């Protein structure tokens, strides 16, 4: 039975992606019988290229994606190269790690409350600058997508930092850097020349994921991005929601155009890797030590600290707005506190929270069963994770959601399978499964198999070893993987919106929907509830093992 689990896992992960791309391909080339088109034709692409905002929307997708990825990678490289192994780095690591679970939408709302003309920074500056009303400047939704880029950087820095921290032990970074320092190299130069090439090889795929996601994100772009025109992914969602069915063909053509943009930028990035590698070899052979790097080293820590503080301050503002009574501009704090907002939205919060946990719980449970099945099959049959399997694992994260979800929605509509929560759960599973597998894979493989050998010698079966020894000992990483899976599911906006067809409402979809209304108190309540839904499983993953193993510290890993 276990032999079939890897194939089933691939089907659950890649099946919707392939079906969605196929579903986008047909209407993009003029085949949509429901709208009276029986193709093939190029009418959809003609409508797409006739849209005047296409050039600006494509530019926004490319620039925001590239800028967010390069800035995130630069900040992570500076902080790890300059400060890894030090006390400030450990403090920063503790501050940034929990931020990984903060949903993108909540982080974006927090940033908007902070930097908007009527936001908290302007309120603090108002007495000095003499403002008695918000200045007439376009900060949130600027036409260059700078606030959108800032919001993406705030979320991607913790992700890339954790990926880098996981890769450090595999390349013996501390020992390699010590050798470089003994040869007279500065800390930054020594790390870049001796450690960075090996680290980059380990985090290349996560960087590609960040690039593809940043180019095609929808919820963050709806909150922080420009509107005239919006980013290409946001415009595709608008076409999908239009009453005229012909717009679905334009949306399908736009989805393929978005996929082509992502593939082109990934190819450009790969070419850049080759160029940087050649220049890096020339720099390394030059022998320059760059021992005086105190200024560059000092830049990394504040940048990373600003990233953490911005997100934490944004969450604090969400909490404050959710209980604010009268809060006029330019007062830095509300005149009073009240629970009126929470009481007014209590029923809606309870209903959406129920749906959120139901979808996230089932999707995560399925992902966990499939992951454990794959890892156990790998253990029992002596298999190994090949490079091709690794690419298959990352594929659902590399293909932009907006490229295949519209096609998947069209396919589900055509076969009448678009009702209920089941399609939404299946769509969430596509994105939850890779993260659960990646978080549980290394601890599972690192488990001391001599425990299983001893148990087998005493007559235990494979099933008994799994349920009575391995899973109890791996409870902490299993709970952590579940927490990551739930956090990923809670943050999913586009799969819930498109596949649910508006009939399944989660905390994320409701919070993003409120952004168009401008009710900051309601936004604060829903965004804070969304953050709490993502953080609660992490708290349980920390507390439960500590309680269960309080008298058996040597049992768990």
Burial 412-450 (b: 16+ CB within 10 A, else e): beeeeebeebebbbbbbbbbbbbbbbbbbbebbeebeee
pLDDT surpasses 80 at 97: no
Mean predicted lDDT score pLDDT of the chain: 89
Band of pLDDT at residue 556, cut at 50, 70 and 90: low
Token pair 């800035």 in the structure block, residue: 71
In percent, how much of the chain has pLDDT > 90? 51
Is 337 strand, coil or helix? strand
Q: What is the pLDDT of residues 21-54, one digit of tens each?
A: 988 898 899 888 888 888 788 999 999 999 999 9
Instruction: Name the DSSP letter for residue 467.
Output: I
Band of pLDDT at residue 478, cut at 50, 70 and 90: very high
pLDDT surpasses 70 at 452: yes
* Strand 37-38 versus strand 31-32 pairing type: antiparallel
Tokens read off for 415: 């076969």
**Cα 254 to Cα 29, 169, 325, 514, 546, distances in angstroms:** 11, 42, 44, 26, 50
At 23 the pLDDT is 87
* C-alpha span between 156 and 75 (Å, rounded): 10
pLDDT surpasses 80 at 65: yes
Mean pLDDT of 373-381: 89
Mean pLDDT of 307-336: 91
SS3 of 150-211: the string is HHHHHHHHHHHHHHHHHHHHHHCHHHHHHHHHHCCCCHHHHHHHHCHHHHHHHHHHHHHHHH
Is 315 in contact with 110 (CB distance < 8 Å)? yes
At 521 the pLDDT is 93
Band of pLDDT at residue 297, cut at 50, 70 and 90: confident
Is 108 in contact with 219 (CB distance < 8 Å)? yes
* C-alpha span between 372 and 363 (Å, rounded): 14
At 418 the pLDDT is 67
Burial 44-80 (b: 16+ CB within 10 A, else e): bbebbeeeeebebbbebbbbbbbbbbbbbbebbbbbb
Band of pLDDT at residue 349, cut at 50, 70 and 90: very high
At 251 the pLDDT is 92
Which DSSP string do the residues of 110-143 spell out, in sequence order? HHHHHHSTTSHHHHHHHHHHT-SS--S---TT-T
Token pair 């939408």 in the structure block, residue: 105
Token pair 């003499």 in the structure block, residue: 130
Band of pLDDT at residue 525, cut at 50, 70 and 90: very high
Is 415 in contact with 349 (CB distance < 8 Å)? no
pLDDT surpasses 70 at 176: yes
Of 500, 490, 473, 493, give the one whose Cα is nearest residue 538.
Answer: 490
* C-alpha span between 276 and 196 (Å, rounded): 12
* C-alpha span between 204 and 261 (Å, rounded): 19
Which DSSP string do the residues of 355-414 spell out, in sequence order? HHHHHHHHHHHHHHHHHHHHHHHHHHHT----HHHHHHHHHHHHS-HHHHHHHHHHHHHH
Of 396, 63, 402, give the one whose Cα is nearest residue 237.
Answer: 402
Mean pLDDT of 427-445: 91
Mean pLDDT of 204-210: 94
At 295 the pLDDT is 82
At 8 the pLDDT is 92
* C-alpha span between 347 and 351 (Å, rounded): 6
* C-alpha span between 261 and 267 (Å, rounded): 10
Band of pLDDT at residue 58, cut at 50, 70 and 90: very high
CB-based contacts of 303: which residues, under 8 Å, 6+ apart?
A: 75, 78, 79
* C-alpha span between 344 and 97 (Å, rounded): 33
Q: What is the pLDDT of residues 129-151, one digit of tens each?
A: 888 888 888 888 898 999 999 99
Q: For the CA atoms of 172, 177, 183, 188, what is the dihedral angle to 10 degrees?
A: 150
At 141 the pLDDT is 85
Weakest-pLDDT range from 57-66, 249-258, 394-403: 394-403
pLDDT surpasses 80 at 2: no
Q: What is the pLDDT of residues 221-266, one digit of tens each?
A: 999 999 888 999 999 999 988 888 888 899 999 999 999 999 999 9
In percent, how much of the chain has pLDDT > 70? 98
């Amino acid at each position: 039975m276990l032999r079939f689990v890897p194939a089933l896992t691939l089907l659950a992960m890649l099946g919707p992606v392939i079906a969605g791309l196929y579903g986008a391909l047909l209407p993009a080339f003029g085949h949509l019988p429901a709208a009276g088109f029986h193709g093939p034709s190029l009418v959809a692409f003609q409508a797409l290229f006739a849209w005047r905002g296409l050039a600006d929307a494509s530019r926004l997708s490319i620039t925001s994606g590239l800028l967010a990825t390069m800035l995130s990678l630069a900040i992570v490289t500076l902080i790890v190269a300059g400060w890894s192994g030090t006390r400030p780095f450990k403090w920063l690591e503790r501050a940034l790690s929990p931020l990984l679970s903060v949903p993108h939408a909540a982080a974006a709302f927090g940033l908007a409350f902070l930097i908007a003309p009527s936001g908290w920074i302007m309120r603090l500056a108002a007495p000095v600058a003499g403002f008695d009303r918000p200045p007439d400047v376009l900060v949130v939704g600027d036409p260059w997508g700078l606030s959108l880029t800032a919001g993406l950087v705030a979320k991607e820095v913790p992700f890339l930092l954790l990926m880098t921290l996981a890769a450090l032990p595999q390349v013996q970074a501390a020992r390699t850097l010590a050798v470089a320092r003994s040869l007279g190299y500065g800390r930054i130069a020594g790390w870049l020349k001796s450690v960075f090439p090996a680290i980059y090889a380990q985090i290349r795929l996560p960087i590609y994921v960040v690039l593809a996601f940043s180019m095609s994100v929808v919820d963050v772009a709806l909150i922080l991005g420009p509107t005239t025109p919006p980013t290409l992914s946001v415009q595709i969602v608008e076409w999908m929601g239009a009453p005229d069915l012909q717009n679905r063909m334009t949306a399908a053509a736009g989805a393929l155009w978005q996929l082509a943009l992502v593939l082109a930028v990934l190819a450009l990035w790969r070419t850049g890797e080759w160029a940087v590698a050649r220049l890096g070899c020339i720099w390394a052979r030059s022998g320059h030590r760059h021992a005086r790097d105190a200024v560059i080293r000092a830049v990394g820590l504040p940048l990373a600290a600003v990233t953490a503080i911005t997100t934490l301050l944004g969450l604090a503002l969400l909490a404050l707005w959710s209980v604010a009574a009268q809060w006029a501009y330019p007062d830095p704090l509300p005149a009073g506190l009240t629970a009126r907002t929470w009481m007014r939205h209590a029923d809606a919060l309870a209903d959406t929270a129920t749906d959120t946990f139901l979808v996230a719980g089932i999707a995560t449970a399925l992902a966990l069963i499939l992951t454990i099945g794959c890892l156990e099959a790998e253990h029992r049959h002596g298999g190994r994770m090949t490079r091709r399997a690794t690419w298959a694992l990352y594929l659902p994260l590399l293909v932009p959601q907006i490229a295949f979800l519209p096609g998947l929605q069209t396919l589900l509509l055509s076969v009448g399978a678009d009702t209920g929560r089941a399609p939404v759960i299946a769509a969430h599973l596509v994105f939850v499964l890779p993260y659960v597998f990646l978080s549980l894979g290394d601890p599972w493989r690192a488990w001391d198999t001599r425990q299983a050998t001893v148990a087998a010698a005493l007559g235990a079966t494979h099933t008994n070893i799994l349920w009575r020894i391995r899973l109890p000992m791996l409870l902490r990483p299993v709970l952590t993987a579940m927490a990551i899976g739930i956090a990923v599911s809670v943050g999913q906006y586009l799969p819930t919106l498109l596949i649910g067809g508006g009939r399944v409402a989660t905390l994320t979809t409701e919070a993003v929907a409120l952004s168009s209304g401008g009710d900051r108190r309601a936004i604060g309540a829903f965004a804070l509830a969304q953050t709490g839904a993502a953080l609660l499983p992490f708290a349980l993953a920390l507390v439960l093992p500590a309680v269960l193993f309080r008298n058996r510290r040597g049992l768990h890993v």
